[in-house]
Structure 1
Amino acid sequence: MKKSKIVIDPITRIEGHLRAEVEVDDKGIVKEAWVSGQLFRGIETILKGRDPRDAGLLAGRICGVCTNSHFRGAITSVEDAYSIEIPKNADIIRDLMAMALFIQDHVVHFYHLHLLDFADVTSALEADAKSATKEAPKYTKKPYRNSVSHYENVLEKLNKFVKSGRLGPFANAYWGHSEYKLSPEQNLIVLSHYLDALRFQTQISKAVAIFGGKTPHPQSLVVGGVTSVADMLNPQRLNDYLFIMKEAKEFVERAYLADMKLISMVYRDEIKQGVGRANGNFMCVGGYEFEGEKKLFCSGVIYGHDFKNIEEFDESKITEEVDRAWYDENDEICYTDLNEDGTLKTEKKDDKYSWIKAPRYDGKTMETGPLARVLVSYHRDNELIKSFVDEFLDETNLEMMDLSTTIGRNAARAIESNYVCEYVFKLVSRLIQNIKYYDTDTWSKYEFEKKPKNTKGRAFLEVPRGVLAHLIDIEDAKIKNYSVIAPTTWNATPKNIDGFRGAYEEALIGIKVQDTSKPLEVLRVLHSFDPCLACAVHIIDTKGKELSRYKIKTL
């Protein structure tokens, strides 16, 4: 059987630099895949020798998108090392910032990084605005900005883009591809929300900044708590946060969730075929306390889609390997050149082809993220989330297994957004209740000089893209070693010497590429994970030596 290789480099509409090489047979079926992290950075090395209290400010620079997540991960690991228990209010404020980030990240990912894999701009130009107003109510009782005048205005904007020849965000796509299945009116509806989401993301960012001081890179998180006590005690600031979140909830329910239902119904056949399904290993560490022992997400590990037997998460089962990543046995840089034709070296079992290390849980590759959280929490009878999942599945006539697909992965993200929006208001109520009874503490005093000089700490958090771990080793009151295992590190892991594919590569196996010159199907699968390569790789030569020089060819 004849095989050929498709190379996509770089994969756009993600954070960082990702390359994919897939081997397809003469029918276009993907038989093998290699996904390579092409970005290398040096935050972990930069942290060495620093004061542990500065870890958050530096680790927060790992990514400009996940900044709040890494900041919190860093200071939480230090608090764990020094056994510092932060006040309840500080925990709530950190959660309020995190919840706003969850919603922002999910909405921005769907509309601005992933939607154009399903929505065809050229088809939308043929839509009838009046017909669109009749189509939208099929997916929600109160469609977002569903009027003839609004859709006509959107059509005018889209036409201006096309006539000007400057398509901006709509440039370089596979318009007219046979795998685009939305009708002109359906395309118009979701693309109108694409434009609405541009404003949405600026507003939701303000919610993070209210308690963070600014965003990206908030300044209010410190070891021991938060510094935003004045904002917490200011009724206007609390009201500003609530107003933004109410608007966010309306957009999520009336636009985002509705659009996800629309796409799920149109692409139902693809979902039922299991397109984009990985190996069924899911991991979640849980978190975000709600009431007493109740948590927003449950922890647990699922193997092979066995939803009935969920194991407890055990951090001692985590290992990291580098056999097929560009490191040697001492974690030093060990880059190997590409083949003469520009492809990755992947023929041998020990060929190295990625900057991403290979984390394993009990020797297995794991998928982490919104899908893992929804599956684990639902099957651990989390009463807070079950109704949201059941409602979506009922309205789309889908089953739980259908979520373990490319489109299902996106559906889980939308369900989670709706769920988080509901939870936020109850969290604010808890904060107001504490203040009402004169509990205004936001920082736990500690004496750094009296803390252990040699100690270790760790933090495991659920963040928008999945499980994030920050591990710190402190010696003589300075950071000796620092390690980050980000969600994308789990999902984009190379095969390693064990031969197990990571979630990215496994999800690509078996998909059919209709046109090898326009591999839209490959992009759909990879984008569904919301890749963040900036978070996944951290390497630098501290002496400033030039390691290698690269030139990217652009068309």
Structure 2
Amino acid sequence: MAKKITIDPVTRIEGHLRIDCEVDNGKITNAWSSGQMWRGIEIILKGRDPRDAWAYTQRICGVCTTVHAMASVRAVEDALKLEIPANAHFIRNLIVGGHGIHDHMVHFYQLCALDWVDIVSATTADPAATAKLGQSLSDWKGNSVQEITGIQDRLKKFIASGQLGIFASGYWGHPAMKLSPEVNLLAATHYLQALQYQRKINQVVAILGSKTPHIQNLAVGGVTNPIDPDSPANLTIEKLFNIKTLIDEVGDFIHQAMLTDVAAIGAFYADWTQYGAGVLNYLSVPDMPLDNKGNYALPGGYIPAGDLGKFMPIKTQKDKALYDSIKESIKHSWYNGNWDRSPYEEDTIPKYTGFEYDNKYSWVKAPTFMGQPAQVGPLPHVVAMYLSGHALTKKLVDQTLATVSSIAKTQVGIGALHSTIGRIAARVIRTAVLHDAMKGQWQALIDNIGKGDLDTFNAPAFPRGEQRGTGFHEAPRGTLSHWIVIENGKIKNYQCVVPSTWNAGPRNSEDALGPYEASLVGNPVADDELPLEVLRTVHSFDPCLACAIHLVDGKKTPITKVKVL
């Protein structure tokens, strides 16, 4: 007999997500994904100056900050048909690259790894054998016996104290955990080391963006970074070379630790290439624009039903077929009405009616592309880049699959990426691709400055009447778009279709399951009281429900008080 289980809230994510599953004979047979808060930023923006929208929208989330700022200024620039200087493109690209790498590192190690790595088991490992294993996989300098022994000692102190701290609330000892103590210890070592490299890549964002999170240097028309080789108060060559040093240091960790970790863990959990595929309509957009002519460093595209032979490249973010194909449904969402609309025509009128499995059960809307649900994220983007012939992506995908095949002692092909573990591997591969792209953008910026071009901003002008624009960005969690309608210089309507709306959305108007929901069907559940397998698949998407939903309390009811000493 089928049994319903509810996980509420799903932890190790941003925002509040509820997952309900029906489990029958140890397998999930049905699922519901519910965003438990309302996002009201669209209402807040009405009537405001479009030039200020980016500062508001990046407050949607404390993690996905930069991405909303970028999509917002692009939306306004698209509405005004405003081109920006080359230096502005390069600086923006460096910021989104740094933000993306930081985000992917946090997901892989801090938010996702603990579904697969048993921290308690790591305390029983042999540090010498762990170091030997690490050194057999790469030349990473952090794989010494001394370093690994020090990490293990720290873990033992955590456990002996009875307070696991950052490792609390894990499913330690769960039967689905299958890594050896040495692999667990190696992963735990890199988990703690990753914190330092996240900090380094975030320094790049802070130097260019003035602060992070919530960068301050964007403007409709470019960036506010004055380039002056002789003034220490502005963006100088010295600061740019400091950025290059940080990028290079982080690259060593990505290539020598992160890529080997995901290959090793993927090989030990090769059975998870059979679970979690879900929606196989893959959507991604090209990003890191190189100029105003529609050239991008990173390609995108659409793949229907997982059929790689039917790959449809999306050449430019200005592609009319791209934004004409996107709609959102509220049939199963807590909003007034029941419609499928283009974001330009949407409203955001809340109407909560309670959780009903067969009716409305989420604050998240249900986006569709060409009438179908679509999965977004690093997996669709990596597959699109692979099929577009992006050289580094192809090399890294082939290399990772070869490493997994070697460790697992069985041939693993590209089809294995359509899975829970494949989604995680794609995120790590994309981290390395972003790093390489950042190096290219840094050099392009240096070369352009060397030609004497110091421009970073073109002033916008707002005509009378109505203008519409869409700003796309291939964010860490996938395709993000902001949609703006401007009337007489003020915001008339504003909508955000974010990655976690695409993936966490409920059933659409045709009752087709959203990507989280579809990916859970068929998953095993060894113990319905400890549903680790559910978390593994949901976490593989890197949910950020703060972006998909938000809450405003008009009555300003106190929730808690904090005393600052």
Deviation at 1:549, TM superposition (A): 11
Contact 1:44 1:538 in 2 (8 A): no
Q: Name the SS for the 1:10 alignment partner.
A: coil
Q: Does 1:336 align with 2:353?
A: yes
Q: Does 1:157 align with 2:154?
A: yes
Q: Name the SS for the 1:308 alignment partner.
A: helix
In the alignment, the residues of structure 2 paired with residue 257 and residue 294 of structure 1 have an alpha-carbon distance, to the nearest angstrom, of 28
Deviation at 1:499, TM superposition (A): 1.4
In the alignment, the residues of structure 1 paired with residue 80 and residue 194 of structure 2 have an alpha-carbon distance, to the nearest angstrom, of 42
Contact 1:127 1:185 in 2 (8 A): yes
In the alignment, the residues of structure 1 paired with residue 523 and residue 122 of structure 2 have an alpha-carbon distance, to the nearest angstrom, of 27
Q: What residue in structure 2 maps to residue 106 of structure 1?
A: 104
Deviation at 1:290, TM superposition (A): 5.2
Contact 1:174 1:518 in 2 (8 A): yes
Q: Which amino acid aligns with 1:6?
A: I
Deviation at 1:420, TM superposition (A): 1.5
Contact 1:45 1:540 in 2 (8 A): no
Q: What residue in structure 1 maps to residue 515 of structure 2?
A: 503
Q: What residue in structure 2 maps to residue 212 of structure 1?
A: 209
Contact 1:322 1:331 in 2 (8 A): no
Q: Name the SS for the 2:69 alignment partner.
A: helix
In the alignment, the residues of structure 1 paired with residue 452 and residue 69 of structure 2 have an alpha-carbon distance, to the nearest angstrom, of 29
Q: What residue in structure 2 maps to residue 19 of structure 1?
A: 18
Q: How many residue pairs are counted as aligned between the two chains?
A: 532
Q: What residue in structure 2 maps to residue 288 of structure 1?
A: 288
Q: Which amino acid aligns with 2:328?
A: E
Q: Choose from 519, 526, 530 the match for 2:542.
A: 530
Contact 2:13 2:543 in 1 (8 A): yes
Q: Does 1:254 align with 2:256?
A: yes
Q: What residue in structure 1 maps to residue 302 of structure 2?
A: 301
In the alignment, the residues of structure 2 paired with residue 43 and residue 295 of structure 1 have an alpha-carbon distance, to the nearest angstrom, of 30
Deviates further, 501-510 or 297-306: 297-306
Q: What residue in structure 2 maps to residue 340 of structure 1?
A: none
Contact 1:47 1:479 in 2 (8 A): yes
Q: Choose from 222, 238, 241 the match for 2:243.
A: 241
Q: What residue in structure 1 maps to residue 344 of structure 2?
A: none
Deviates further, 276-285 or 196-205: 196-205
The percent identity for this pair of structures is: 42
Q: What residue in structure 2 maps to residue 413 of structure 1?
A: 427
Q: How does 1:112-123 map to 2 (within 5 A)?
A: 112-123=110-121
Q: What residue in structure 2 maps to residue 278 of structure 1?
A: 278
Deviations 1:47-91 (A, max 9, x none): 111011111111111111111110111111111111110000001
In the alignment, the residues of structure 2 paired with residue 550 and residue 401 of structure 1 have an alpha-carbon distance, to the nearest angstrom, of 48
In the alignment, the residues of structure 2 paired with residue 460 and residue 490 of structure 1 have an alpha-carbon distance, to the nearest angstrom, of 14
Q: What residue in structure 1 maps to residue 356 of structure 2?
A: 345
Deviates further, 397-406 or 91-100: 397-406
In the alignment, the residues of structure 2 paired with residue 545 and residue 123 of structure 1 have an alpha-carbon distance, to the nearest angstrom, of 48
Deviations 1:366-400 (A, max 9, x none): 00010001111211223342222222122222211
Q: What residue in structure 2 maps to residue 91 of structure 1?
A: 89
In the alignment, the residues of structure 2 paired with residue 374 and residue 463 of structure 1 have an alpha-carbon distance, to the nearest angstrom, of 13
Q: What residue in structure 2 maps to residue 479 of structure 1?
A: 491
Deviations 1:289-334 (A, max 9, x none): 4598763332321111100112355220111110101111264211
In the alignment, the residues of structure 2 paired with residue 417 and residue 496 of structure 1 have an alpha-carbon distance, to the nearest angstrom, of 32
In the alignment, the residues of structure 1 paired with residue 40 and residue 511 of structure 2 have an alpha-carbon distance, to the nearest angstrom, of 28
Q: Which amino acid aligns with 2:286?
A: G
Deviation at 1:254, TM superposition (A): 1.2
Q: Name the SS for the 2:457 alignment partner.
A: coil
Structure 1 pair 301/437, CA: closer, same or farther in 2 (3 Å)? same
In the alignment, the residues of structure 1 paired with residue 497 and residue 550 of structure 2 have an alpha-carbon distance, to the nearest angstrom, of 10
Contact 2:140 2:253 in 1 (8 A): no
Q: What residue in structure 2 maps to residue 194 of structure 1?
A: 191
Q: How does 1:378-417 map to 2 (within 5 A)?
A: 378-397=386-405, 398-417=412-431
Question: What are the ranges of 5 or more consecutive residues in structure 2 without an aligned counterpart?
Answer: 229-233, 315-321, 338-346, 406-411, 561-565
Deviates further, 91-100 or 471-480: 471-480
Q: Choose from 481, 490, 493 the match for 1:469.
A: 481
Q: Name the SS for the 2:530 alignment partner.
A: coil
Contact 1:508 1:525 in 2 (8 A): yes
Contact 1:308 1:379 in 2 (8 A): no
Q: Does 1:176 align with 2:173?
A: yes
Q: What residue in structure 1 maps to residue 409 of structure 2?
A: none
Q: What residue in structure 2 maps to residue 341 of structure 1?
A: none
Q: How does 1:128-147 map to 2 (within 5 A)?
A: 128-140=126-138, 142-147=139-144
Contact 1:281 1:301 in 2 (8 A): yes
Structure 1 pair 290/402, CA: closer, same or farther in 2 (3 Å)? farther
Deviation at 1:418, TM superposition (A): 1.1
Deviates further, 201-210 or 108-117: 201-210
Contact 1:144 1:255 in 2 (8 A): no
Q: Which amino acid aligns with 2:477?
A: R
In the alignment, the residues of structure 1 paired with residue 56 and residue 391 of structure 2 have an alpha-carbon distance, to the nearest angstrom, of 38
Deviation at 1:538, TM superposition (A): 4.8
TM-score by length of structure 1 reads 0.92
Contact 2:89 2:290 in 1 (8 A): no
Q: What residue in structure 1 maps to residue 319 of structure 2?
A: none
Q: What residue in structure 2 maps to residue 367 of structure 1?
A: 375
Deviation at 1:545, TM superposition (A): 5.5
TM-score by length of structure 2 reads 0.91
Structure 1 pair 443/331, CA: closer, same or farther in 2 (3 Å)? closer
Deviations 1:381-428 (A, max 9, x none): 233422222221222222111011111101101111112212211211
Deviations 1:458-508 (A, max 9, x none): 111111110000001111211111000000100011013311111111110
Q: Which amino acid aligns with 1:513?
A: V
Q: Name the SS for the 1:260 alignment partner.
A: helix
